[in-house]
Amino acid sequence: MTPLGKWKLTRILFTILYLMAGWLLFTGSVEPVSLALGFGFSSLIALWTYGLFFEEQEAERRSLIPRVHLFLVFVLVLLFKMYVASFRVLWYIIRGRVNPEIVHFRTRLKSDTARVMLANAITMTPGTVTIDLDQDHLIVHWLEAKTTHSGYAGRLIKGSFEKLLKWIWI
């Protein structure tokens, strides 16, 4: 078997694994009939869409299996920052005076999943919404902008998320 064929098989198997996890979360039952049905459908879907789920060039071990315990820490940090950010946006709404700007910056993350998670985290936190994500280039709309300098704005907005995500997915 060629290395490319092996990689294809690995991608199909991991897609089936993730789809089965989703099936178990949705149904919440471990009856044999339900499990067999879930396995059949997830292998059907995996054979069809494994190319979308894992890119062929993305041969990184951490992008297949993230570090789960650090991911839980990330979710807790995200929830806390969400509350802080919401109080800030409340203050802007009450004050009624905002200073929006568009800022562009780059990220150092390599994996696509990590980039998407970074964009989501930016949308959740202090008055920033990701408008566009193209490879490693982010366009962000910033309520109450402190600066328009690209590097400084990137450091202020990304904060500790980039470091955490780098630990989780590289």
Partner 1 sequence: MIAAIIAQIFISLGFIFALLGHLGVIVFPDVYTRLQASSTCATTSVISFFIAAMVDSGFSVITGKIVVISAFFIVSSPVSAHIVARYAWSRGIMPWRRRRQ
Closest CA to 98 of 139, 138, 126, 133: 126
3-class DSSP assignment, residue 139: strand
Report if residue 94 touches partner 1, rule: CB under 8 A. Answer: yes
Residue with tokens 């490319």: 4
Residue 16 or 119: the one with the smaller Cβ distance to partner 1 is: 119
Q: Distance between CA 14 and CA 65 in Å, rounded?
A: 9
Q: Distance between CA 31 and CA 138 in Å, rounded?
A: 45
**Rounded to a whole number, what is the distance in angstroms from the first to the last CA of the chain?**
29
Q: Which stretch binds partner 1 (CB under 8 A): 11-19, 65-73, 106-114, 139-147?
A: 139-147
Q: CB 36 → partner 1: shortest distance, Å?
A: 22
Tell me which of 1, 52, 57, 83 binds partner 1, using CB under 8 A.
83
User: CA angle, 14 as apex, 3 and 49 as ends, to 5°?
Assistant: 90
# of chain residues touching partner 1 (CB under 8 A): 36
Tell me which of 9, 47, 73, 79 binds partner 1, using CB under 8 A.
79
Binding to partner 1 (CB under 8 A) within 107-136 occurs at: 119-120, 123-124, 127-133
Q: Which two tokens stand for residue 131?
A: 């408008």
> What residues line the site for partner 1 (CB under 8 A)?
25-26, 28, 75, 78-79, 82-83, 85-86, 89-90, 92-94, 96-102, 119-120, 123-124, 127-133, 139, 141, 143
